[in-house]
């Protein structure tokens, strides 16, 4: 899996951190969904005319691991994951990275 990852230590309680993440991602147009693999992620877009954008949150040891990537395809028929580096898909990658940075600054 090609994903860009950021590890952020908790500054507040787990509940407060989770609420902050939900508030920011919902305000940015992301919604929670489950991938075929069973992973719970935040997704924006359906991929019809644009890249699908994904953010995943994992929690452990008083820190949150934020993962971000984009994917080309339509709905569940997406192609391979692309991390947020490189030139291909630069604009949507930059958009996801901006949201990851916003989350990092808020947590």
- Choose among 23, 74, 14: nearest CA to 49: 74
- Choose among 29, 36, 27, 25: nearest CA to 67: 25
What's the pLDDT score for residue 80? Answer: 84
CA distance 15 to 9: 14
What global pTM score does this model have?
A: 0.91
Chain-centre distance of CA 84, in angstroms?
11
The answer to whether the beta carbons of residues 64 and 73 sit under 8 Å apart is: no
Record: fold of 4-106: TATA-Binding Protein (3.30.310)
Delimit the domains of the chain by residue range.
4-106
Low-confidence spans in the chain with pLDDT less than 70: 1, 75-78
């Amino acid at each position: 899996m090609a994903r860009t990852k950021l590890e952020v230590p908790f500054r507040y309680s787990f509940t407060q951190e989770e609420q902050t993440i939900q508030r920011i991602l919902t305000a940015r147009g992301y919604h929670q969904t489950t991938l075929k693999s069973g992973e719970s992620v935040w997704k924006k877009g359906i991929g019809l005319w644009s890249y699908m954008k994904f953010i995943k949150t994992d929690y452990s040891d008083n820190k949150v691991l934020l993962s971000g990537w984009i994917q080309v395809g339509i709905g569940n028929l997406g192609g391979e994951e692309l991390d947020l580096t490189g030139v291909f898909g630069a604009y949507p990658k930059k958009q996801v990275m901006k949201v990851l940075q916003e989350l990092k600054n808020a947590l």
